Amino acid sequence: MSSATIRPAYSMWPQYNRRLRDVVAAMTDEHLAIRPTPERWPLWATVGHAACQRVFWLCDFAGEPGAETTPFTDAAHNCPGDDDLDHPMSAGALVEALDSSFRIVEGCLDRWTLDMLAEVIRREDYGPGWVHTRGSVIQRVFSHDIHHSAELNETLGLAGLPQIDLWD
């Protein structure tokens, strides 16, 4: 049995989150309203969605504490983009969403051990097939963050705005 936490496997994630939040913090409402294409979400919704999905997967699905410390106390039913495009979030609100949801991530990185990653979590109340290992949940949240950071970078680059530099 290993009591080692999973933090070393995700050692760069805090930096990636800081770099994302710093770029978002500098954005204006006009920047946040940019849509990569007419049928895709505005940037504020993509960032809000990324933060909200951290809460959904880690709190709602995996049972971690902390949802009440975020703007997403009902992440399963009320996330920017997925469920709400009518209430734009400002850069300040998005930074708070990223910071508060990342505190939940940090808790998982510090509490979850290598042995815990094989644990199966069942949420059949969400529907058939809602069965995942704890390891697949954290991998999903990490890759989701990176996916949306890349998506944001594509749009920011096309708009001539500063991009998120994850590796500098």
Whole-model pTM: value is 0.95
Residue 131 β-bridge partners: 122
Choice among 52-61, 77-86, 153-162 with the minimum mean pLDDT: 77-86
What type of residue sits at position 23? V
Task: Please give the average per-residue pLDDT across 69-83, as a whole number.
Answer: 93
What type of residue sits at position 123? R
- Report the top-level CATH class of 7-158: mainly alpha
Instruction: Check whether 47 has a pLDDT greater than 70.
Output: yes
Helix orientation angle between 134-158 and 13-25, rounded to the nearest 10 degrees: 40
